[in-house]
Amino acid sequence: MTVMTTMERFKKVGPTMVYRECLKVLLVLLATLLPLASHAQASETDTEFYALVDQVASGSLSKRIKTVDAIAELNHTRSAAILEALQEGALKNARGKEGLVVIEIANDQYVDAKTGEPIIDKDLGRLKRVPIHNKLRGQIRTLLAQINLSSADEEIRLSAVTRLITDGGDADTAELLQSLKANETSAAVVEAMNTAIALYRIESDDATVRLYAVKQLRGSLIPEVRGPLKALVTNDPDKAVRIEAERAIDSIEGKLKMFRFGENVFFGLSLGSVFLLSAIGLAITFGVMGVINMAHGELMMIGAYTTWVIQQAFPNQIEYSLFMAIPAAFVVAGLVGIAIERGVIQFLYGRPLETLLATFGISLILQQAARSIFSPLNRAVSLPEWMSGSLQINPALSITFNRLYILLFGLMVFFALMAILKKTSLGLKVRAVSQNRPMARAVGVRASWVDALTFGLGSGIAGIAGVALSQLTNVGPNLGQAYIIDSFMVVVFGGVGNLWGTLVGAMGLGIVNKFLEPYAGAVLAKVLILVMLILFIQKKPKGLFPQKGRAAAD
């Protein structure tokens, strides 16, 4: 009865449905068994790898050569680490502890050579370095090149070729690079391969080979190239090779000069961006109100201390602390600026020398307040990870991220301020008061409130400048004193009250300063710039871009 029921069901469902159900069962079984098989295979590979590591650590030098080849052929995830440690003398055998082989990564810091796990037990007993000789060292160099040059990661391949260039190559590595070059897709890796091959070939006994290799090295910016070329110029017996080597060196020197010029321009622009941030707020207050604000540097100090306080309040949010510090520094420094204007400066309009003395006194008060609140010691502001490091354009030119971001940030602040002055009601009133104060009052503009808001705006921008400065130097009570003179120089050079003049003046003075520093030194360069600025003002007292309007003629 049961058999008849099953047959009837088979006829009713049909053979196709049965086959599908069987296929589903097979797929489930495969999905279950494949990971188990893969795990078993991985375990077998690990066991073989561990045995080879033990052989390397305890075997003789003659056996070690074969064992090293076996480790490379196994292509275990730890193969490259073992070979690198053996080559650098960091692979050590722990005597008295069976099967324990360690890699020294720092003083008294070790990891298990087989697993890469840190070793917590400090009592390792007596450690013996696994010895190698020059033949084995060359073999390891070639094997490491084979492993790393076969990587799918372009950075690893490029790093492998660069290391071959640094360590020096031999015939085996040159042949390996020549064979891999045809299938290489990265232009940077191919260029590095050509350099490594050419550096090997310039040691050839054939003058034709040396001449061709020297031609390939022409214009190369890799530092290891110049030494061998200079040796050829001095010692090579073939005249054609000597002449070509000298041309190659001249080509390299020409490129280096060009990139040094570009590097100086970038450093000048980055310094100019610091000048711009520190001077742009002063350009507003000085241009609109004619106030010589000697406390401007202390407003930058307030912004820097605000950044430090925010990092202390949110120690786990260093990556985002700058984004919180920018508006906070603007508000805090702006409020302090409004308080200074309402409390002191509003009673001294029309008397610039008295504003100079008053604000100088305020600067001393703010410095002492910082010493009392935060202590006289400098405070270090942590640099976010995204601002650390540098952008390596080529071996001769790199750009630090912190200065690049500050340059971009300075330009953003400048154009944001331009938009405020050109597109908002406050900006319209500021421009009206700066060009003709009596006429602005006659048409209903409350000049006193415009002065207060303008001074607050300039002070707030000084606070933002302090946020940027905190990423370049330590924060202390005297932070602003280092930039107040430069700020006044930029404002006077560009034209009082003209923001475009402030931009051009800041960038121009920054670039000139960076080009003078290598020849005159940092201090003398500033003195020379000050002398040149005085001579320039004798010819153009109102700066590069003089202010327009009736008040400009006063």
CA dihedral 540, 541, 544, 548 (to 10 degrees): -120
* Tens-binned pLDDT, residue by residue, of the chain (554 aa): 444 554 555 455 555 554 555 555 555 555 554 444 434 444 667 788 788 877 777 767 777 778 878 877 777 778 778 888 888 888 887 766 666 787 887 777 788 877 878 877 666 667 788 888 777 777 787 777 777 777 778 888 888 888 778 776 667 777 878 887 888 888 888 888 888 888 888 888 888 888 988 888 888 888 888 888 888 888 888 888 889 989 999 999 998 899 989 888 999 998 899 889 888 888 887 766 778 888 988 999 999 999 999 999 988 888 888 899 999 999 999 999 999 999 998 888 778 888 889 999 999 999 999 999 998 888 888 888 888 888 888 878 888 888 899 999 999 999 998 898 888 888 888 778 777 778 888 888 887 788 888 889 889 999 999 999 888 888 999 888 888 888 888 888 888 777 888 899 999 999 998 888 888 887 888 888 888 888 888 888 888 877 665 444 44
Give the dihedral sign, CA 536/540/545/551. positive
- In the listed set 132, 157, 185, which residue is the last one of a domain according to the structure? 132
Does 250 map to a domain?
no
Phi and psi at 111, nearest 5°, equal -130, 155
Tell me: do 376 and 435 sit in the same domain: yes
pLDDT for res 66: 80
Tell me: do 282 and 331 sit in the same domain: yes
Q: Which residues pair with 390 in a beta bridge?
A: 400
Neighbours of 227 (CB within 10 A): 10
- In the listed set 111, 132, 153, which residue is the last one of a domain according to the structure? 132
Does 203 map to a domain?
yes
- 3-state DSSP assignment of residue 379: strand
Tell me: do 78 and 181 sit in the same domain: no
Does 353 map to a domain?
yes
- In the listed set 200, 222, 237, which residue is the last one of a domain according to the structure? 237
Neighbours of 440 (CB within 10 A): 21
Q: Which residues pair with 408 in a beta bridge?
A: none
Does 324 map to a domain?
yes
Give the dihedral sign, CA 528/534/540/541. positive
Assign residue 510 the CATH number of its domain: 1.10.3470
Q: Which of 143, 180, 179 is nearest to 158 (CA)?
A: 180
Q: Which of 343, 267, 244 is nearest to 510 (CA)?
A: 267
Does 10 map to a domain?
no
CA distances from 89 to 85, 137, 165, 194 (A): 6, 10, 20, 30
- Residue corresponding to tokens 């061998």: 228
**What is the crossing angle of helices 15-58 and 79-88, to 10°?**
10
Tell me: do 56 and 93 sit in the same domain: yes
* SS percent in the chain: helix, strand, coil, step 5: 75, 5, 20
Burial class (CB in 10 A: 0-12, 13-18, 19+), 425: exposed
Between CA 318 and CA 311 the distance in angstroms is 6
Which are the contacts of 323, defined by CB distance < 8 A and separation ≥ 6? none
pLDDT for res 287: 67
Does 154 map to a domain?
no
Q: What secondary structure letter does DSSP report for 123?
A: -
This prediction has a pTM of 0.72
Q: First CA to last CA across the chain, in angstroms?
A: 119
The token pair at 527 is 């003195």
Q: Which of 224, 225, 214 is nearest to 166 (CA)?
A: 224
Between CA 228 and CA 241 the distance in angstroms is 12
Between CA 75 and CA 57 the distance in angstroms is 18
Tell me: do 336 and 409 sit in the same domain: yes
What's the domain range around 107? 47-132
Q: What secondary structure letter does DSSP report for 382?
A: P
Tell me: do 307 and 448 sit in the same domain: yes
Which are the contacts of 476, defined by CB distance < 8 A and separation ≥ 6? 301, 370, 376, 377, 378, 379
Give the dihedral sign, CA 401/404/408/414. positive
Tell me: do 433 and 371 sit in the same domain: yes
Tell me: do 444 and 532 sit in the same domain: yes
8 Å CB contact between 140 and 66: no
Tell me: do 221 and 275 sit in the same domain: no
Three-class SS of 467-503: HHHCCCCCECCCCCHHHHHHHHHHHHHHCCCCHHHHH
What number of CA atoms fall less than 13 Å from residue 8's CA on the CB side?
Answer: 5
Tell me: do 99 and 176 sit in the same domain: no
8 Å CB contact between 296 and 471: no
Tell me: do 331 and 435 sit in the same domain: yes
CA distances from 547 to 179, 271, 284 (A): 68, 25, 12
Does 185 map to a domain?
yes
pLDDT for res 8: 54
Between CA 208 and CA 354 the distance in angstroms is 80
Number of domains in the chain: 3
Tell me: do 384 and 467 sit in the same domain: yes
Q: Which residues pair with 104 in a beta bridge?
A: 110
Between CA 543 and CA 505 the distance in angstroms is 9
Does 396 map to a domain?
yes
The token pair at 511 is 């670039």
- 3-state DSSP assignment of residue 152: coil
